[in-house]
Chain A
């Protein structure tokens, strides 16, 4: 039996095993070496970030977690990052779900991100968990005109009338943006058709690879941002992680009495006190005044250390999940390509020899 005949008769369990190894080995390598595959943010991830970044702090953002454990591996990381961006920016977050297990997803993502990294946010004032409601598009349709009818209470059984951040929210028009993280039906499509299109509310969508191609026609008219599968999540994660560092640096400076003006004037962040001096010099006229730069250069060494310490601090593992998962993605994609090529070669060679099936 020739090579191709043998390959053609390969037990499929060998292929399963190869796939398993292609995914498993990079996970271990990435954890041991700390290597993270490079990512290049593409326009859709950038516009997703921008849509939420353009809203002034304190804007009301509705986050609908329309996914369950079956797709948590793909969508969990972007859900976490959405919360991180909104929390860091100071938006008011309203969580809800159109799928039954979405309620658990809200619970786990909020406790992971808000509970661990933004413990100062107050439930009921900065974020609220409205939980799950059945009825798919009927839920969205009801919310368009009346919020209280669908949600008499939040997921914890608190009547909405007793929750401070719910006052003034009569219907969906009260929101400044909608974020839908979606695994299928119901999800982003229902939000787009029943809420964003008629009400013209800025909407960003994070979805699985399976439904991402179907969401492309809505961009940029009906949705303003689109994260497709783990790749979109990784790009968005990278953008938000970078921005959070800059924002924290800016806030620390502000707490020390130096207000950086302008939007995008942080440049490369300094990670040592010498770099900080140079940074201050470089930014005169680009966010800092001469006097401010002198003030920064004159900081005591402890103060400088406090300022530059977070710049090089390792990113929490929670906010690297998507980027790390691009590692197994790479090896598994290559395996897929090899399998397709081998399969075709086998097919054509054996057919030519008259043994095609």
Chain B
């Protein structure tokens, strides 16, 4: 181990020791408390909001048309319309409680320690550190975390695609009655739309890529994807990026800025005109640089060189902005570690008394 490596190891060990110490002193850290909330619903027959849609005949005769609905047991509607022995369903969910409240009312039996969320916070913190460990050097802990990312995100996208698109937009069109009965109650248009077989078939063809034989069939779907993307982009880019951008550039070089009383503000006019001039020169010279049909020699070469200067400034700006973005992301991760896990900081004033006192008294 080189001297530098020993130095880094020592510093990191000190940081690790501080973290362990922090989780042992005072109120500890990384804990989540929740309050259990019970929701109880009762089935009632409410006067229909749109009677004609429920029963046209009765509505025309002026009779009261009702429809079934579930309302909270303690709501006004439940008191008014619920019949004896009406069906009820109840379930519980948990709401997070800030730690200051836990401390303020230690006898409140509705509040309980949440094992699942506390474990979650610790897991999230340890995984964050596992990824950071790559900065020291590549190691099995980092590789484990990396494998988790791969597995979880692939499945995550599949689940989202299934519930957010395949069910409502595809199955909901091909078998609306089934979807209405199970997943999306209240759908009104229950006629199957058979033209949605087309994306279904294309989808199956796409999945042929995974099959041992007939992989070439997936090219048909790929052709559809490529054709759609090409057509959509061609029109939009020409309109929004080509024509409109040229339009925005070709403005008079002499930009008049007027004072409130209508007279010309000479100073401002000068600067606005210079600004416009730089803009036009910049765009034209950069475009000259991109134009490879002419050799970059002589006048063209000089203009192209100015173009390079403009592009360098653009890249410099892009670099500065990128640095800014990356640092923010790191700051957000540290905030998570310090706030949710270690309870060193408290930006949302959730632990007011607790964290400050415990920090001081230990």
Check if B4 sits within 8 Å of A28, measured CB to CB.
no
Contact at A333–B187, with CB atoms within 8 Å?
no
Contact of A213 among B161, B318, B334, B348 (CB under 8 A): B318
Asked if B165 is an interface residue, CB under 8 A from chain A, the answer is yes
Q: Mark A55-82, 1 if CB is under 8 A from B, else 0.
A: 0000000000000001111101000000
Q: How far is the CA of A63 from the CA of B266 in the complex (A)?
A: 42
What 8 A-B pairs are tightest by C-beta distance, nearest first? A73-B332, A209-B325, A31-B345, A209-B321, A193-B240, A11-B4, A197-B240, A317-B347
B327 at the interface (CB under 8 A from A): yes
Q: Which of B136, B184, B324, B326 counts the most A-chain CB atoms under 10 A from its CB?
A: B324
Which residues on B are within 8 Å of A, measured CB to CB?
Answer: 2, 4-5, 7-8, 11-12, 135-136, 156-157, 160-161, 164-165, 168-169, 172-173, 183-188, 228-229, 232-233, 236-237, 239-241, 244-245, 247-248, 314, 317-318, 321-335, 338, 344-349
Q: How far is the CA of A214 from the CA of B87 in the complex (A)?
A: 58
- List A contacts of B172 (CB < 8 A): 152-153
When C-beta atoms are compared, the residue in chain B nearest to A135 turns out to be B165
Residues from chain A with a CB closer than 8 A to the CB of B331 are: 23, 27, 73, 325, 328-329
Which residue of the partner chain B has the closest CB to A141?
Answer: B232
Bound-state Cα–Cα, A134 to B156, Å: 14
Q: Which residues of A contact B348 (CB under 8 A)?
A: 316-318
User: What residues on B are CB-neighbors of A101 within 8 Å?
Assistant: 156, 160
A35 CB-CB contact with B under 8 Å: no
Could you tell me if A74 and B349 are in contact, using CB atoms closer than 8 angstroms?
A: no
Asked if A137 is at the interface of the complex by the 8 Å CB criterion, the answer is: yes
Q: Complex Cα distance A101/B160, Å?
A: 8
Q: Within 8 Å CB of A141, what residues of B?
A: 232, 236
Chain B, residue nearest A335 (CB): B327
The answer, among B233, B324, B334, for a CB contact under 8 Å with A329, is B324
* Interface bits A301-320 vs B (CB < 8 Å: 1, else 0): 00000000000000011101
Q: Mark A14-45, 1 if CB is under 8 A from B, else 0.
A: 10110110011001100110000000000000
Give the size category of A's interface with B.
35 or more
The distance from the CB of B251 to the nearest CB of chain A, in whole angstroms, is 10
> Measured between alpha carbons, how far is A318 from B348 in the docked complex, in Å?
7
**Are B188 and A159 in contact, with the CB atoms below 8 A?**
yes
Query: From B249, which residue of chain A is reached at the shortest CB distance?
Result: A217
- What is the chain B residue whose CB lies nearest that of A164? B49
Interface of chain A residues 150 through 178 with chain B (CB within 8 A): 150, 152-153, 155, 157-159, 161-162
Question: Separation in Å of the B204 CB from the closest CB of chain A?
Answer: 17
Docked pose: A133 CA to B325 CA in angstroms = 26
Q: With both chains docked as a complex, state the minimum distance between the C-beta of B60 and any C-beta of chain A, in angstroms.
A: 22
Chain A residues 124-158 with CB under 8 Å of chain B are 131-134, 137-138, 141, 150, 152-153, 155, 157-158
Q: How far is the CB of A213 from chain B (nearest CB, A)?
A: 5
When C-beta atoms are compared, the residue in chain A nearest to B164 turns out to be A132
Task: Kindly specify which of A224-232, A244-252, A263-271 makes contact with the partner chain.
Answer: A224-232
Q: Does A347 interact with chain B (Cβ within 8 Å)?
A: no
Q: Does A83 contact B (CB under 8 A)?
A: no
CB neighbours of A28 from chain B (8 A) = 338, 344-345
Q: Residue A48 at the B interface, CB < 8 A? A: no
- Say yes or no: B327 contacts A138, CB within 8 Å: no
Chain B positions within 8 Å of A132 at CB level: 160, 164-165
Is A157's CB under 8 angstroms from B347's CB?
no
Contacts A/B (CB < 8 Å), 15 sampled: A13-B4, A17-B11, A27-B334, A134-B161, A152-B173, A153-B172, A157-B168, A159-B186, A161-B188, A192-B240, A193-B241, A209-B321, A229-B324, A320-B347, A333-B324
Q: CA separation between A14 and B11, bound complex, in Å?
A: 10
> How far is the CB of A231 from the nearest CB of chain B, in Å?
7
Closest to B5 in A: A11
Q: Does A354 contact B (CB under 8 A)?
A: no
Partner pick for A153 among B2, B168, B240, CB 8 A cutoff: B168
The residue in chain B whose Cβ has the minimal distance to the Cβ of A327 is B331
B324 close to A221 (CB less than 8 A): no
Beta-carbon contacts of A108-125 to B below 8 Å, as 1s and 0s? 000000000000000000
Kindly list chain A residues whose C-beta atoms are within 8 Å of the C-beta of B346.
31
| Contact residues in A for B330 (Cβ distance below 8 Å) | 19-20, 23, 73, 328, 332
Given contacts A16-B135, A28-B344, A138-B228, contact A23 B245 (CB under 8 A): no
Whether A230 contacts B160 in the complex (CB less than 8 A), given A11-B2, A221-B248, comes out as: no
A180 near B: Cβ within 8 Å? no
Tell me if A209 and B334 are in contact (CB < 8 A). no
* B164 engages A209 (CB within 8 Å): no
Tell me the smallest distance from the CB of A93 to a CB of chain B, in Å. Answer: 19
A212 interfacial by beta-carbon distance below 8 Å: yes
- Interface residue? A182 (CB, 8 A): no
